[in-house]
Amino acid sequence: MSRKRFKVAAVTSALLLAVTACSQGSTTKQPDAGSSQSSGPAHIKIAYQQWGPGVVMKNFLTGVKSEYEAANPGSTVEILPIVASENDYYTKLQLMMRSPNTAPDVVYEDTFLINSDITAGYLKPLDDYINKWDQWGQFQDTAKGAAKALDGKTYGVPDGTDTRALWYNKQIFAKAGLPADWQPKTWDDVLSAARTIKQKVPGVIPMNVYSGKPMGEASAMQGFEMLLYGTKDTLYNNDQQKWVVGSQGFKDSLNFIKTIYTEGLAPSPKQALDPNMGSKVGTELLPGGKLGIALDGSWIYGNWQKTGAKPWPQWTEVMGQTAMPTQDGSGKGKVSLSGGWTWAIPAKSKNPDAAWNLIKTLQTQKNATKYATDGAQIAVRKDVAADATYKNSAKSTQFFTDLVSVTVYRPAFAEYPKVSNEIITAMEAVMTGQSTPDKAAKNYDEAVEGIVGKDKTTSGQ
């Protein structure tokens, strides 16, 4: 599942929200942070993505709705699930935010979209609220930074972060004669294991790396960028403040995609291009013993908890986790990408004050701990990170938290969503055999120059 998420730096904490409620337009004194009392009734609409069989967010929001309405008699919270794959969710949410007639009051906003949505005029800055909120100090600075735009203002309250690595099925590894404590040091080590699985465990998909348009940002981030950032190249040169084109690392990453698809080490293109592939990996392929290795996110075990879409108590013994290595073992030796989501207020919300107080209710320590635990999030609130319930919630929590020390973040500029789409286009062209890696990389370079301007590009290593 792509949350699936991404999308905040050096963070090892957690999140989810504080409490209170206050309606728009009231002239009475607002309650102190931590209070649940509102100065007047309001109808608040909150929108989030619902895709696949998972119900963790639905159940969480239903609980917060009851809490908020009980504390604020006369107020109502309307939960608006947007049933769509990731990229379709972004599109539908942006369409809703364009008009005050359809704009929700609170939205679940991916951090990589914040700058582009600000440029489009969709989001309201939250600094006036945050400056009066005594819980903001509980959030890790890196988490705060993920919700801050280029204009220096903050546009969302983060609810967790994530890291990415290789999940592998120890039972399949045993059948293939591979070690239970797998520690690949290079891309070749990863490919070697996948080839061994193909040879010795027929009927199993050796490896999954998300690729192609239907999986959207999951393809770009936890697929391609997990490869690219293991090379000597990146997407964006921070020192020069320019986008990187003509890089060998980009071509090498596409060649990795070509290798796993042409050698039959990955799902068939038809399987990979299924918009439901993200949920199938977590609810069918891994628990069903049909997938050997998955390049995926820290959150995926949320499917297997009692509250998840596919409860699987045995996962702690069956599934192993290991870091994705760099291309040749150089550099830090391992790679992770991090992202994250925030709760934001659309610029055209009819009830921004009440919306803020709902966000604070979402973000009490209690609610933050519950969602970080049930939703398999890496905590971004300090008090949640120190909570025993959270720390003991899963066997893999410490492993994925430790990856924060090597993690990198997408260049979340306004142009990034368009650049990301070109990455996905290049991947799909290669995985389906419609293009060679060199040609796909050349088309990508030309597209990026058209998006950002040739003067805003620089050559790779």
What does the pLDDT read at residue 304? 94
Same domain, 239 and 315: yes
Q: Domain for residue 33, yes or no?
A: no
Q: How many domains does the chain have?
A: 2
Q: Binning pLDDT at 50, 70 and 90, where does residue 196 land?
A: very high
CATH number of residue 101's parent domain: 3.40.190.10
Q: Annotate 309-323 with b (16+ C-beta within 10 A) or e (fewer).
A: bbebeebeebbbbbb
What does the pLDDT read at residue 212? 93
Element (H, E) at 71: helix 56-71
Greatest pairwise CA separation for the chain in angstroms: 72
What does the pLDDT read at residue 349? 97
DSSP state of 363: B
Q: Domain for residue 390, yes or no?
A: yes
Whether pLDDT at 404 is above 90: no
At 455, which amino acid appears?
D
Same domain, 443 and 314: yes
- Looking at residues 338-352, what average pLDDT do you find? 95
Q: Domain for residue 232, yes or no?
A: yes
Q: Domain for residue 124, yes or no?
A: yes
Same domain, 153 and 237: no
Give me the chain's average pLDDT, please: 89
Quick: pLDDT tens for 427-439: 999 999 999 999 9
What does the pLDDT read at residue 371? 94
For the chain, the C-alpha Rg in angstroms (whole number) is 22
Q: Domain for residue 60, yes or no?
A: yes
DSSP state of 326: P
| Domain region containing 144 | 43-162+339-409
Q: Domain for residue 145, yes or no?
A: yes
Same domain, 213 and 346: no
Q: Domain for residue 404, yes or no?
A: yes
What does the pLDDT read at residue 13? 34
Same domain, 75 and 151: yes
Same domain, 324 and 187: yes
Q: Among residues 174, 163, 166, 431, which one has the least CA distance to residue 289? A: 174
- Looking at residues 90-115, what average pLDDT do you find? 94
Pairing of strands 340-344, 407-409: unpaired
All residues at 6 or more sequence positions from 326 whose CB lies less than 8 Å from its CB, including other chains? 186, 230, 231, 332, 333, 334, 335
What does the pLDDT read at residue 44? 98
Same domain, 423 and 295: yes
Percentage of the residues of the chain whose pLDDT score is greater than 90: 75
Same domain, 256 and 241: yes
Same domain, 48 and 153: yes
Look at residue 460 and give its three-state secondary structure.
coil
Whether pLDDT at 18 is above 60: no
In whole angstroms, what is the distance from residue 48 CA to residue 249 CA? 35
Please spell the DSSP secondary structure of 77-136, one letter per residue. EEEEEEE--HHHHHHHHHHHHTSTTT--SEEEEEGGGHHHHHHTT-B---HHHHTT-TTG
CB contact at 8 A, 377 and 14? yes
The reported pTM is 0.81
What does the pLDDT read at residue 8? 36
In whole angstroms, what is the distance from residue 368 CA to residue 354 CA? 19
Same domain, 310 and 260: yes
Please spell the DSSP secondary structure of 177-227, one letter per residue. T--SS----SHHHHHHHHHHHHHHSTTSEEEE---SGGGTHHIIIIIIIHH
Q: Domain for residue 256, yes or no?
A: yes
Same domain, 167 and 157: no
What does the pLDDT read at residue 342? 95
- Looking at residues 367-381, what average pLDDT do you find? 92
Quick: pLDDT tens for 287-333: 999 999 999 999 999 999 988 889 999 999 999 999 999 999 999 99
Quick: pLDDT tens for 240-275: 999 999 999 999 999 999 999 999 999 999 999 999
Same domain, 199 and 218: yes
